[in-house]
Amino acid sequence: MTYLLFSYGTLRLPAVQADVFGGPVPSEADAVVGHVLGEVRIEDPRVLELSGIEVHPVLLPSSDPDARVDGVVLVLDDQQLAAADAYEVDAYRRVEVPLQSGRTAWVYALA
């Protein structure tokens, strides 16, 4: 089975994709509607080493009808989605969101 996973952060980075998925995954530009970006401090050593970033973006719902967050939609299989779940820290939870393209995708938002 394949899954759409919207990424607005470190899962777009080549080094992170290489480690988490074993290499680059198919992706295309899109946006999440009805959300804005906030920040979350990361303490997980593996995530810090892979991303090189201590403060990561986090998706937050917004009441602003024009709110949107740009990113990419990754096309993942079962193993890759499980690997993405394992990579994300407890500050995030996976939820479904509407995309600007009209599709729905999983995304990691604030837990």
List the pLDDT tens digit at each of the 111 positions of the chain. 999 999 999 999 999 999 999 999 999 999 999 999 999 888 888 888 888 888 888 999 999 989 999 999 999 999 999 999 999 988 889 999 999 999 999 999 988
CATH number of domain containing 66: 3.10.490.10
Nearest-5° angle of CA 49, CA 17, CA 59?
Answer: 80
Q: Which residues contact 36 (CB under 8 A, 6 or more apart)?
A: 59, 60, 62, 64, 67, 69
* Angle 90-92-95 from CA coordinates, rounded to 5°: 135
pTM of the model: 0.88
Domain count, the chain: 1
- Domain assignment of residue 15, given as a range: 2-110
